[in-house]
Amino acid sequence: MISINTINIAETIATVWGNVWPYLVAILLFGVIIAIHEFGHFFFAKLFKVKVNEFALGMGPVILKKKIGETQYALRLFPIGGFVSMEGEDSESDDDRAFNKKKPYQRFIIVAAGAILNLILGVIVVGVCLSMQPLVGSRYVHSFHEKATSCNYGLQADDEIIKINGTHIYSSRGIGFNMVRDTDNKLDLTVIRDGKTVELKDVEFKQFEFEGRQYIEQDFYVVGEAPEYVSVLGKQIVSPSWVLKIVKTSMLDSASIVQMVRLSLVDLCTGKYGMKDVSGPIGTISAIADSTAQGPTAKDKLFTALTLLSYITINVGVFNLLPVPALDGGRLFFILIEMIRRKPISPKKEGIIHTVGLVLLLLFMLVVSISDIIKVF
């Protein structure tokens, strides 16, 4: 016989596992983003024969490590980042294979590679998500909600929306984001109608409230395109033209996400958003975990997690390219100055600037992490 205690233990284990596994998946997915980023630096450093002292995933104390050749590969305790330590990266080195001994264009490629791989990963994941959907959205208006107001101010079915308040729209994803950025219920729309560009001023929409803010309600549906199939040896497979459509749309959707990240940073700097709207590694892992746990089926959970993954990896790529000391973009900025001047900046001065930037960045991450913990608990 199975005792009641055994049943209770099994139920407890199942409950704990049900709460824990989304976070394990989230840490794994976040780790993939970091690993891809650091691998970009690592691959091109090795390609240009730079001496790599350590390739690490995570920060803090070392959990596992193994030295292969001249490079130590390490897994560290806190899954909030990673790094590639190259000889002569932050200080002068006489080693012929030091980072600082390489040509500017080689250093530029090594530094930029991490963010570029994040962006490429984002495009790939977006493409996977698009292929999982029954319909792929477009910029064309299909029809309106029952109580829509925008149709009373000039917007018509079959209009192709190309700008909202002067901002270019790359895909259907960009329509929703640029609508919620507006602070009132009126938008200036630029559409293509019957082959001609039409300007629609002060198109009114209804609003809804969420967490104390007013947002515009999108009161129309966009045209969705279904997959196209061809018969090959008696089997139906997606047509080459549809594959090209997915590739093109994934790139346009990714451009929309890049635009979203850029405009969000502008909104943050101008005070439209506050610190409570910013998430660090802890908040990111929590968000992935929440999304992973959502959805009635495993496919729905996977789709939601991959969608969020695409946003995060593109966000990481864009953020790292910002010309901020200690970030990849800050290092790229100094290399560009060196290319223009044809003379390197003093490593000591550059090191001081990056150190100050790193301290400020760590302080910022500390504040964001505390905010994340408060939001989670």
Active site positions, annotated:
38
Cβ(276)–Cβ(156) below 8 Å: no
Q: Which residues contact 49 (CB under 8 A, 6 or more apart)?
A: 97
Give rounded-to-5 percent helix, strand, coil for the chain.
Answer: 55, 25, 25
Size (the chain), residues: 377
Q: Which two tokens stand for residue 103?
A: 């040509």
Q: Which two tokens stand for residue 142?
A: 């299909």
Nearest to 262 by CA among 309, 314, 217, 306: 314
End-to-end Cα separation, the chain, in angstroms:
41
Q: Which two tokens stand for residue 174?
A: 């960009």
The helix or strand, by DSSP H or E, that contains position 202, with its residue range, turns out to be strand 196-204
Cβ(125)–Cβ(299) below 8 Å: no
Q: Which two tokens stand for residue 348?
A: 């000591």
The helix or strand, by DSSP H or E, that contains position 216, with its residue range, turns out to be strand 213-216
Distance, C-alpha 266 to centroid of its chain: 16
Please state the φ and ψ torsions of residue 70, each to the nearest 5 degrees: -95, -5
Cα angle 151, 155, 156; round to 5: 90
- Please name the amino acid found at residue 190: T
In whole angstroms, give the CA distance from residue 282 to residue 81. Answer: 11
- Please name the amino acid found at residue 301: K
Kindly state the DSSP code that residue 228 receives in the 8-state scheme: -
In whole angstroms, give the CA distance from residue 201 to residue 37. Answer: 43
In whole angstroms, give the CA distance from residue 2 to residue 26. Answer: 35
Nearest to 238 by CA among 230, 246, 226, 249: 230
Q: Which two tokens stand for residue 21?
A: 């596994």
